[in-house]
Amino acid sequence: MKIAVTSQNYRTVTGHAGKTRRFIIYEVDEDGTFREVERLDLPKEMSIHAHPAHEPHPLDSVHYLLTAGCGQGFVNKMEQRGVQVFITDEEDPAKAVGSLLRQLGWRTVH
């Protein structure tokens, strides 16, 4: 399973998810172990706000997306791509992923 985290600076979870172009991608193993596997730095036209809904997008491969804030339009666009969006108050991306996994009923190891 993959989880994307909005992070314009690759250090903290950031908001404005529809216009975000930088994401940290985490891979979650069956035992709950998770690790960072990729960092996306997309061009402006690849933000979800600007990208056509019918065209493939790099975030199509993730199952969940964590952000500090977004609008309902972003949530709807991501649901159309098969991605469930969660808003978090956690600033640390890895801690946010661990928190989401526990919320989903996973026992986590990081």
What pLDDT is attached to residue 47? 95
* β-pair type (84-87, 64-67): parallel
3-45 per-position pLDDT tens digit:
999 999 999 999 999 999 999 999 999 888 999 999 999 999 9
Residue 25's CB is within 10 A of a number of other CB atoms, namely 18
Q: How confident is the model at residue 110 (pLDDT cuts 50, 70, 90)?
A: low
What pLDDT is attached to residue 107? 74
Phi and psi, residue 66, nearest 5°:
-105, 140
Domain at 2-61+71-103, CATH class: alpha beta
Q: How confident is the model at residue 108 (pLDDT cuts 50, 70, 90)?
A: low
Q: Which of 76, 92, 110, 13 minimizes the C-alpha distance to 5?
A: 13
- What is d(CA 49, CA 92) in angstroms, rounded to the nearest whole number? 24
Which residues, at least 6 apart from 1, have a Cβ–Cβ distance to it below 8 Å?
Answer: 27, 28, 63, 64
50-98 per-position pLDDT tens digit:
999 999 999 999 999 999 999 999 999 999 999 999 999 999 999 999 9
Quick one: DSSP state of residue 12?
S
The amino acid that residue 96 corresponds to is: A
The amino acid that residue 5 corresponds to is: V
Quick one: DSSP state of residue 56?
-
